[in-house]
Amino acid sequence: MDLAKQKVALGDILTQQSIENEVIVHAAVGGSTNLLLHIPAIAHAAGLNRPTVEDWNEANRRVSRFVDVLPNGPVNHPTV
């Protein structure tokens, strides 16, 4: 609410680098596929370049996954 009162907009907070960082974090934690829809939409709303399929693929090839936070978790190890 304070940010709204200060008239701080989404575009004042998000940068192209923060979108790129999110793609990397998603790769590292095996996040939800919902982010593949929401992050490009957020980037678009902020007037930034949307991550492409190639960006997501490259991040997943380059970044080691250190935890799997999928709601159903990996087989036999659901996230609680």
71 assigned to some structural domain = no
Percent of the chain with pLDDT over 70: 86
25 assigned to some structural domain = yes
Q: What is the pLDDT of residues 2-42, one digit of tens each?
A: 888 999 887 788 999 999 999 999 999 877 788 889 999 99
80 assigned to some structural domain = no
More confident residue, 67 or 72: 67
76 assigned to some structural domain = no
Number of domains in the chain: 1
79 assigned to some structural domain = no
Q: Is 4 exposed, middle or buried (0-12, 13-18, 19+ CB in 10 A)?
A: exposed
**Residue 77 confidence (pLDDT) above 60:** no
User: Domain range spanning residue 52?
Assistant: 2-62
77 assigned to some structural domain = no
Q: What is the pLDDT of residues 44-59, one digit of tens each?
A: 988 999 999 999 999 9
